[in-house]
């Protein structure tokens, strides 16, 4: 008996049938005297390009050890099942029983993505950054005076400046006097 990897994509409207299709293929393999090493319903994922006007589909993966007759029966099931958009059967050198990389990636994406009230995707890191920015803004706002206090202080500083500085006329007069004094000193 040979080892095979079977991957297929199910139409998004028939997502609930994915597990029953996996069970059907498992029974085909076991009835022919083979064994199933791995059977995974990976879940709904975005397609790289539209297939039959669909942008998302449910992925499923199986690693089996069976004879050629069981594979032929599975291939004919693929042909006559309209809910399966694409399928691929690969010959493997050995059996794989651990979780697939695609399943691990899908679980990681589900763990790291949270839907906010506006239905926008935000990762945990983005949320942490937002919360830290909010905290620093709150700290800054506590240290800053209110708008009314700031306006009052601006008015006070303007009044102080006007009291400290001599008037423009006085300054000009003093400049003229110093120029006259300088001209008298010359021979």
Exposed, middle or buried, 149 (CB in 10 Å: 0-12/13-18/19+)? Answer: exposed
The angle that helices 68-80 and 18-31 make with each other, rounded to 10 degrees, is 150
Residue 152 has a pLDDT of 59
- Decide if 22 contacts 62 (C-beta within 8 A): yes
pLDDT of residue 94: 81
CA distances (Å), origin 185, targets 4, 173, 175, 177, 180: 113, 19, 16, 13, 9
For residue 179, what pLDDT is reported?
Answer: 57
Res 118: pLDDT: 45
Nearest to 7 by CA among 44, 56, 49, 40: 40
Given this model, what pLDDT does residue 62 score?
92
For the chain, give every residue range classified as CATH 3.30.70.60.
2-98
Q: What are the average pLDDT values for consecutive 10-residue runs of the chain, which has 187 residues?
A: 92 90 93 91 90 92 92 93 93 77 71 55 61 60 58 56 58 61 55
- Closest by CA to 45, choosing from 57, 54, 37, 33, is 57
Q: What is the model's pLDDT at position 154?
A: 58
Q: Which CATH superfamily groups domain 2-98?
A: Ribosomal protein S6/Translation elongation factor EF1B (3.30.70.60)
């Amino acid at each position: 008996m040979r080892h095979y990897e079977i991957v297929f994509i199910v139409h998004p409207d028939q997502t609930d049938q994915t597990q029953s299709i996996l069970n059907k293929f498992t029974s085909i393999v076991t009835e022919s005297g083979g064994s199933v090493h791995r059977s995974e319903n990976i879940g709904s994922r975005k397609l790289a390009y539209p297939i039959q006007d669909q942008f998302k589909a449910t992925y499923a993966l199986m690693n089996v050890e069976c004879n050629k007759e069981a594979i032929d029966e599975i291939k004919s099931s693929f042909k006559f099942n309209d809910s399966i958009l694409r399928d691929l059967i690969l010959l493997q050198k050995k059996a794989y029983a651990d979780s697939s990389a695609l399943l691990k990636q899908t679980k990681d994406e589900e763990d790291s993505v949270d839907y906010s009230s506006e239905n926008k995707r935000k990762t945990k890191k983005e949320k942490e950054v937002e919360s830290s920015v909010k905290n620093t803004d709150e700290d800054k706002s506590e240290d800053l005076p209110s708008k009314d206090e700031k306006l009052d202080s601006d008015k006070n500083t303007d009044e102080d400046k006007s009291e400290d500085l001599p008037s423009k006329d006085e300054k000009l007069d003093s400049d003229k006097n110093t120029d006259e004094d300088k001209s008298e000193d010359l021979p």
